[in-house]
Amino acid sequence: MVKSKVEQLIIDALEAQALEKGADIVDVEVVGATKAPTVRVRIEGADGESLTLDEVTAHTSWVSDVVEGIDPVPGAYTLEVSSPGMARPLRRPQDFVRFCGEDCQLTTTSTEGRKKFGGRIAQADDHAATLELEDGSTMTFAYDEIKKCVLKPVYDFKGSKEGKN
């Protein structure tokens, strides 16, 4: 995955402590205005389990200390620490392997033609992920060609009602 130098610096610093803190760094984004950006850190449990709001709050302290320690952006910034949510970003090869079979939206770094693709992760390994696109065709993307990839959440508003036909 392609990350900015600042984002990668933050990821590296956080990952150095995350395991001992019982957390996994899902993703880091630096977004917003240049003068006062937002640093978004998405975390989950070390074994990929979801965290409660109280657990995320508890992790915020050490995440803040690490980010402050490297002072990644000049001036003021806002730090947001949260769980990855339903539209979970995929950043590492193991994320693509873990969510094989799931639908996603992928943006490439391509400078020619189409940049956005939607489909199901059909296969993933240490070097690339293959998507079965919405039209039934497949495309393989090397991780260094992927700018961003997020799971496509599935909302079931109807739900199942037991005993009802």
Tens digit of pLDDT for each residue in 50-67?
Answer: 999 999 999 999 999 999
Residue ranges of the chain assigned to CATH 3.30.300.70: 5-82
Q: In the chain, which residues fall in CATH 2.30.30.520?
A: 93-151
Q: Give the DSSP H/E element, type plus range, for residue 54.
A: helix 53-70
Q: What is the mean pLDDT of the chain?
A: 92
Is there a contact between 94 and 153 (Cβ–Cβ < 8 Å)? no
Architecture of the 93-151 domain: Roll (2.30)
Higher pLDDT, 162 or 82: 82
Query: What is the distance between the alpha carbons of residues 133 and 118, in angstroms, rounded to a whole number?
Result: 6
Q: Which pLDDT score, from 0 to 100, does residue 2 have?
A: 84
Phi, psi of 130, rounded to the nearest 5 degrees: -110, 130
CATH architecture label of 5-82: 2-Layer Sandwich (3.30)
What was the pLDDT predicted at 155?
A: 77
